[in-house]
Amino acid sequence: MRLLLVEDEPLLAAQLRDALTGAGYVVDGAQDGLEAEYQGLNEPYDLVVLDLGLPGRDGLTVLRNWRQAGQSMPVLILTARDNWHDKVVGIDAGADDYLAKPFHAEELLARVRALLRRAAGHASADICCGPLRLDTRQARIWLDDAPLELTSHEYRVLAYLLMHRDETVSRTELTEHIYAQDFDRDSNTIEVFIARLRRKIPADLIQTVRGLGYRLACPGTAAAR
């Protein structure tokens, strides 16, 4: 899952980036409102962590402009301590949740997990498909109660497919959601990751939908069209 972190305070931004990447997310960063607005309008983020006090353009204006442009990704706003007015205005502007500074990284991660699950239509922290189980709290994937040994990119591909189980996901979409903005992306490597995953899990779980992409087919659901 690919996130945009918008925070202009360098130390806090570095701490949050470390926490988010440590939890298995791909993280792009922005340090001012103008840059953040541009990235949010032009890149397919799964979630945005948005500070409201930004140089260049304030976070509320950025958020309103995203929503007016039809951008629907979940947005978690960061607010000044005990500033209830910012929280109310932020929610009314289109934010999905808020977190008051100072906060613990664990709370941020919990709120991010909840927003991502909700956006994908999942109620539980454990997302299952046949013998596979994604534990979003630990950023681990299990096969029949045994942890899978995966590279970071293999994990991101399989986790994304699990979050979107029984949906057809294109190679382009996978590429956009497992690599950071400044990474040298190559959609052909997706085939390599899929081949590796098929050697580690029941191969028929990941179906190739010709001309469209891949589908993680959970047992008991309809076959891919």
Residue 129: predicted pLDDT = 94
Q: What is the CATH number of the domain that holds 181?
A: 1.10.10.10
The last residue of a domain, from among 120, 141, 165 = 120
At 184, the pLDDT band (50, 70, 90 cuts) reads low
Residue 223: predicted pLDDT = 43
Do 114 and 14 lie in one domain? The reply is yes
Cα–Cα dist 162/174, whole Å: 12
Do 109 and 137 lie in one domain? The reply is no
Question: pTM for the whole thing?
Answer: 0.87
Q: Which amino acid would we find at residue 188?
A: N
- Give, to the nearest 10 degrees, the angle between helix 152-163 and helix 189-200: 80
Q: What is the CATH number of the domain that holds 45?
A: 3.40.50.2300
The last residue of a domain, from among 120, 149, 171 = 120
Do 97 and 164 lie in one domain? The reply is no
Do 9 and 115 lie in one domain? The reply is yes
Residue 102 lies in domain? 2-120
Strands 26-30 and 140-143: unpaired
User: In terms of Cα–Cα distance, which of 221, 222, 220, 218 is closest to 165?
Assistant: 218
Residue 210 forms part of a structural domain: yes
**Domain total in the chain:** 2
Do 105 and 191 lie in one domain? The reply is no
At 225, the pLDDT band (50, 70, 90 cuts) reads very low
At 82, the pLDDT band (50, 70, 90 cuts) reads low
Mean pLDDT of 78-90: 80
Residue 51 forms part of a structural domain: yes
Query: 4: helix, coil or strand?
Result: strand
End-to-end, the C-alpha distance of the chain in Å comes to 26
Residue 224 forms part of a structural domain: no
Do 195 and 164 lie in one domain? The reply is yes
Cα–Cα dist 59/45, whole Å: 17
CB 128 within 8 A of CB 117: no
Q: Is 69 exposed, middle or buried (0-12, 13-18, 19+ CB in 10 A)?
A: exposed
Mean pLDDT of 138-162: 94
User: pLDDT tens across 105-136, in order?
Assistant: 999 999 999 999 999 889 888 999 999 999 99
Residue 225 forms part of a structural domain: no
CB-side exposure of 144: number of CA atoms within 13 Å? 3
Do 98 and 47 lie in one domain? The reply is yes
Do 116 and 135 lie in one domain? The reply is no
Distance between alpha carbon 38 and the CA centroid of its chain, in Å?
18
Residue 89: predicted pLDDT = 86
The last residue of a domain, from among 120, 155, 171 = 120
Cα–Cα dist 205/102, whole Å: 43
Q: Is 183 exposed, middle or buried (0-12, 13-18, 19+ CB in 10 A)?
A: exposed
Output the six-digit token pair for 172. Answer: 């382009």
